[in-house]
Amino acid sequence: MARNIGRKRALEMALTGDPVDARTAAEWGLINKVVPDDDLDEAVADLIGRATRGSVLSKAMGKRGFYAQVDLDQPKAYGYAVEIMAASAMTADAQEGFRAFLDKRHPNFTDRP
């Protein structure tokens, strides 16, 4: 958490146990978004819909790639990202995505991790 919000804020939270309101949590980067209570179900459904659209294999490769490179220095992270993107572009799902784009249709992804 200290990497996301800084050592001072993380230590203050740990030592005081003070609650953090939603607005502050959003400002500090502890959460992505604040929505009114009445809009929560709709906001969750929207996020899930966006996060789960597309190729399952692509999502899995992207997630693994993110965690593998997140702590690397920038040149190594870029090099790794290039490798992952090149490998991803060669999958059947990527090829289907390219064809669907050119054919102006929705893709039919079938690959699984």
Q: Which tokens hold the place of 88?
A: 């991803």
Q: Where would I find the H helices in 1-113? A: 2-5, 7-16, 22-28, 40-52, 56-69, 74-89, 92-103
Tokens encoding 58: 């692509």
Task: For residue 112, give the amino acid letter.
Answer: R
Q: How many domains does the chain have?
A: 2
Residue-range definition of the domain harbouring residue 76: 56-103
In angstroms, the first-to-last Cα distance of the chain is: 29
Residue where one domain finishes, among candidates 13, 30, 52: 52
Successive 10-residue mean pLDDT values, the chain, 113 residues: 88 94 92 94 96 91 93 93 93 94 94 72
* Residue after which a domain boundary falls, among 52, 73, 91: 52
- In a domain, residue 6? The reply is yes
Residue 38 lies in a domain: yes
36 and 69: one domain? no
pLDDT at 113: 66
State residue 75's pLDDT score.
92
CB-CB neighbours of 94 under 10 Å? 20
Q: Assess if residue 108 is contained within a domain.
A: no
Are residues 10 and 27 both part of a single domain?
A: yes
Considering the domain architecture, whether residues 34 and 70 belong to the same structural domain is answered as: no
CATH assignment at residue 64: 1.10.12
Contact 62, 73 (CB under 8 A): no
Q: For residues 34 and 27, what is the distance between their CA atoms, to the nearest angstrom?
A: 10
Which of 14, 34, 52 is the last residue in one of the domains? Answer: 52
